[in-house]
Structures are given as structure tokens and as C-alpha cells.
């Protein structure tokens, strides 16, 4: 009887812990590419945020929130052309950081131009970002990607 009670209690605790430990992911990422000439392409990195959530621009000053940043895995098949582009962010004063910060809500598309050294390749990399809502910020997260360019 005691053994059954203990087993039931353990199963219950594991179930409750599993539910409370679910990771919240208010940002969904999609990746794609489009050739713009025989030797150039643009890689698109689209973030879609749940209602009330936002991520930060790539251009946040020191002492501010974690900015969105992209890293690309080096390859002999392509070279990066310039820096990753972003649209004009919304700007608001965040008292916790005592500064104005650029951010994106709902959705944003970042773009990276690449020069191709051969007709087809796969552009690999990662994006690091921090998602916040009006009450809290989640720890920084990283998403890896691999985009076929044909």
C-alpha cells in the first residue's frame, strides 16, 4: 500500500514538474533564399512573434538588452556581401536599461546578401536573440539554420 502511494506520488510530481518546465517560445523563425543573379543571392531570416512579444534590433548600445545577432558558418562556396540588413525598428525608452532601444514586434525579415562561388550551396548559421513582453524577458535563445540556395 505504501509502495503504491509512493509510486503515485512520484508519478504525480514528475507530471507537475514536466508541465511547469515547458519552455516558452514566443518567437518562430523561418529561413529561405532567393537568387538575384547567377552569382548572387539573398538569404531571408523571418521572425514571427506571438502577440505582445518583441525582439531587439541588431543595433543596440552596450548596457542594453541582448541584441539580435547572426553568425554564418564560413564556406568556400559563398562570401557574405555587407552586413545583415534589417528594416527600420520601432524605438522606445526602456527605463530598466535607461536608454532608447530599437525593437520589432509581430514580424520582421532580416536579409543577408551572398556572392556565390558556384551555382548551388547551403548557407548555414545561427541567430541569437532575446524575446521580451511588457512584464519580462526570456533568457537569450539561439536557433541554427541551413538554407539551400539553388
Among 65, 70, 66, residue whose Cα is nearest residue 83 = 70
Q: List the CATH code of the domain at 26-149.
A: 2.60.40.1250
Is the CB of residue 26 less than 8 Å from the CB of residue 133?
A: yes
Q: Please give the Cα distance from 24 to 49 (Å, whole number).
A: 12
What's the chain's length in residues?
A: 150
- pLDDT tens digit at each of 150 positions of the chain: 444 433 444 334 344 344 445 689 999 999 999 999 999 999 999 999 999 999 999 999 999 999 999 999 999 999 999 999 999 999 999 988 999 999 999 999 999 999 999 889 999 999 999 999 999 999 999 999 999 999
Q: Please give the Cα distance from 128 to 61 (Å, whole number).
A: 16
Q: Please give the Cα distance from 101 to 93 (Å, whole number).
A: 6
Any bridge partners for residue 82, and if so which?
A: none
Going by DSSP bridges, is the β-strand pair 54-56/99-105 parallel, antiparallel, or unpaired? antiparallel
Grid coordinates representing 83 are: 552586413
For residue 97, give Cα distances in angstroms to 61, 106, 130. 10, 23, 14
- Each domain of the chain, given as residue ranges in start order, spans 26-149
The model's pTM: 0.84
Amino acid at each position: 500500500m505504501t509502495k503504491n502511494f509512493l509510486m503515485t506520488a512520484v508519478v504525480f510530481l514528475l507530471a507537475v514538474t514536466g508541465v511547469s518546465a515547458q519552455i516558452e517560445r514566443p518567437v518562430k523563425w523561418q529561413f529561405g533564399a532567393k537568387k538575384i543573379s547567377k552569382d548572387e543571392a539573398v538569404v531571408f531570416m523571418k521572425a514571427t512573434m506571438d502577440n505582445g512579444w518583441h525582439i531587439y534590433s541588431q543595433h543596440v548600445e552596450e548596457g542594453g538588452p541582448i541584441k539580435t545577432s547572426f553568425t554564418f558558418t564560413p564556406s568556400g562556396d559563398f562570401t557574405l556581401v555587407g552586413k545583415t540588413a534589417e528594416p527600420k525598428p520601432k524605438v522606445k525608452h526602456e527605463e530598466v536599461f535607461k536608454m532608447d532601444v530599437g525593437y520589432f514586434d509581430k514580424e520582421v525579415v532580416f536579409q543577408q546578401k551572398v556572392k556565390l562561388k558556384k551555382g548551388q550551396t547551403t548557407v548555414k548559421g545561427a541567430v541569437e536573440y532575446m524575446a521580451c513582453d511588457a512584464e519580462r524577458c526570456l533568457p537569450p535563445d539561439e536557433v541554427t539554420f541551413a538554407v539551400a540556395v539553388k
